[in-house]
């Protein structure tokens, strides 16, 4: 298989974690007979610094001409701490989503027994947690009209959704649910918001086409509580932009580290793959950031390309690292490995697997011994 990948390293730790993903993708290409080529582009604070534009036209062109986009992170303290800034890194990502019509953000949430001690929940609540959040990504309050009164005392952010916007992500979520445990939960605030009532009406209609999927409805405040009280009850969660943004970050706590969770943003053409974490500027250049969220995003890219076997082996490699204590500082501050070392370990696992070699309990790997 031949694929062209647009690479947006972004800001902060974005370049460091994304470079590990590229290393993993190249290893997959080497041992599974694929050819992946890359074209780099700017977006975010680095793009503002270089061009004055958070999403240069050249970047948009490169993305449109690619088969997929591998993205790091955006954000910089000089913009985060300046509420008066007219041009901001996040504007680039929002515009990219809109221009490419990346209307569905898909975030799998998986827990690992080896990391249960890092979460605020008791282990019994983390058993069998495996769900996916489908977040609508190009509508809602983030893209609505915004206004501020002349005296600066009243601000408005409009939230709007159309039937078409809801239907297109609903079909993706229902189809995914059919291939999982056949349960879908719509999260809304239909007791208060008109947009939520439209969501509920549309989902009830679309559900008639998926008779084998059980549909539940939860208000967002209750859903936030249920994700903590009983996260194993969920299979596929479907929700609008703002609620999905908040709930997916809440759900990341279940995994033990924000650095572990991947995501895909899909739409009508090219898809984008990125870890859910931010740019983490405090760790920039220190080789301590967790690359697994980015590497698992690359696994989702493989699956998007139809390379299911390759995606599975990357995920198995990540789980193997976690289960054997090969982790970064966010997971174990004392016995930690560098960003680069984790990338090397993933690649070595893939290489061994491709060659048919096993991983015995006692072995020497990357200058580390598993006991």
Tell me what pLDDT residue 67 has.
98
Residue in this structure with the two tokens 């090969």, named with its chain if needed: 326
Domain end marker among 207, 235, 255: 255
Q: What's the Cα-to-Cα distance from 369 to each of 286, 322, 366, rounded to whole Å?
A: 24, 14, 8
- Asked if residue 276 lies in contact with residue 267, where contact means CB atoms within 8 angstroms, the answer is no
Write the pLDDT tens digit of every residue in 159-199: 999 999 999 999 999 999 999 999 999 999 999 999 999 99
86 and 10 share one domain: yes
45 and 10 share one domain: yes
Residue count (the chain): 371
- Asked if residue 199 lies in contact with residue 193, where contact means CB atoms within 8 angstroms, the answer is no
Residue in this structure with the two tokens 């992170």, named with its chain if needed: 73
Question: Angle at CA 338, nearest 5°, toward 332 and 341?
Answer: 120
69 and 147 share one domain: no
What's the pLDDT band for 231 if we cut at 50, 70, 90? very high
Question: What is the total count of domains within the chain?
Answer: 2
State whether residue 20 is helix, strand or coil.
helix
Tell me what pLDDT residue 364 has.
47
CATH no. for residue 178?
A: 3.40.718.10
Domain end marker among 230, 255, 280: 255
Active site residues per annotation: 142, 189, 221, 245, 249
Mean pLDDT, residues 195-204 taken together: 98
Does residue 22 lie within any of the structural domains? yes
Quick one: how far is CA 129 from the chain centroid? 17
- Asked if residue 245 lies in contact with residue 273, where contact means CB atoms within 8 angstroms, the answer is no
Does residue 112 lie within any of the structural domains? no
Does residue 110 lie within any of the structural domains? no
Residue in this structure with the two tokens 């647009």, named with its chain if needed: 6
206 and 311 share one domain: no
The pTM (predicted TM-score) of the whole model is: 0.90
Range of the domain at 164: 120-255
What's the pLDDT band for 82 if we cut at 50, 70, 90? confident
Q: Residue 36: which of 65, 59, 61, 6 has the closest Cα?
A: 6
Q: What's the Cα-to-Cα distance from 49 to each of 54, 57, 76, 237, rounded to whole Å?
A: 9, 15, 11, 38
What's the pLDDT band for 86 if we cut at 50, 70, 90? confident
Buried b (16+ CB within 10 A) or exposed e, 122-145: eeebbeebebbbbbbbbbbbbbee
Domain end marker among 217, 234, 255: 255
Does residue 23 lie within any of the structural domains? yes
Does residue 115 lie within any of the structural domains? no
Phi-psi region of 154 (alpha: psi -120 to 50; beta: other; left: phi over 0): beta
268 and 303 share one domain: yes
98 and 152 share one domain: no
Return the bridge partners of 260, or none. none
**Count of alpha carbons within 13 angstroms of residue 278, beta-carbon side:** 13
184 and 230 share one domain: yes
Packing angle of the helix pair 292-304, 308-323 (nearest 10 deg): 160
Q: What's the Cα-to-Cα distance from 251 to each of 109, 180, 263, 322, 350, rounded to whole Å?
A: 7, 19, 13, 19, 29
Does residue 370 lie within any of the structural domains? yes
331 and 343 share one domain: yes
Tell me what pLDDT residue 12 has.
97
- Asked if residue 289 lies in contact with residue 13, where contact means CB atoms within 8 angstroms, the answer is yes
Residue in this structure with the two tokens 């549909």, named with its chain if needed: 215
Share of the chain above pLDDT 90, in %: 86
127 and 56 share one domain: no
Does residue 113 lie within any of the structural domains? no
Does residue 75 lie within any of the structural domains? yes
187 and 232 share one domain: yes
241 and 333 share one domain: no
The encoded tokens of residue 171 equal: 């079909």
Q: How far apart are the first and last CA of the chain?
A: 39
92 and 42 share one domain: yes
């Amino acid at each position: 298989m031949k694929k062209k990948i647009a690479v947006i390293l972004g800001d902060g730790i974005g370049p460091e974690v994304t470079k590990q993903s590229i290393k993993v993708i190249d290893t997959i290409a080497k041992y599974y007979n694929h050819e992946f080529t890359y074209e780099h582009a700017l977006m975010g604070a680095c793009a503002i610094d270089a061009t004055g534009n958070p999403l240069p036209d050249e970047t948009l062109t490169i993305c449109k001409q690619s088969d997929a986009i591998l993205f790091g992170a955006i954000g910089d303290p000089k913009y985060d701490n300046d509420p008066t800034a007219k041009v901001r890194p996040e504007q680039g990502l929002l515009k990219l989503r809109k221009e490419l019509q990346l209307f569905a953000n898909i975030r799998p949430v998986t827990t690992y027994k080896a990391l249960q001690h890092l979460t605020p929940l008791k282990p019994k609540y983390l058993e069998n947690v495996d769900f996916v959040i489908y977040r609508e990504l190009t509508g809602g309050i983030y893209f609505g009209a915004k206004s501020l009164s002349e005296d600066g005392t009243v601000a408005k952010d409009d939230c709007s959704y159309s039937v078409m916007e809801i239907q297109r992500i609903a079909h993706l979520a229902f189809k995914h649910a059919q291939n999982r445990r056949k349960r879908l939960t719509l999260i809304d605030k239909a007791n208060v918001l008109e947009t939520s009532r439209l969501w509920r009406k549309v989902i009830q209609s679309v559900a008639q086409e998926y008779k084998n999927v059980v549909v539940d409805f939860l208000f967002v405040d209750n859903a936030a509580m249920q994700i903590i009280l009983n996260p194993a009850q969920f299979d596929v969660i479907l929700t609008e932009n703002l609620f999905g943004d908040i709930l997916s970050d809440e759900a990341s706590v279940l995994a033990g580290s924000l650095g572990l969770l991947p995501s895909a943003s899909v739409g009508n053409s090219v898809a984008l793959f990125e870890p859910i974490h931010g740019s983490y500027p405090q760790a920039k250049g220190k080789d301590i950031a967790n690359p697994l969220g980015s590497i698992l995003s690359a696994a989702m890219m493989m699956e998007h390309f139809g390379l299911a076997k390759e995606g599975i082996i990357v995920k198995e490699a990540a789980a193997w690292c976690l289960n054997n204590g090969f982790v970064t500082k966010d997971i174990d501050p004392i016995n930690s490995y560098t960003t680069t070392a984790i990338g090397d370990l993933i690649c070595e696992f893939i290489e061994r697997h491709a060659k048919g070699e096993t991983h015995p309990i006692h072995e020497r790997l990357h200058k580390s011994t598993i006991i």
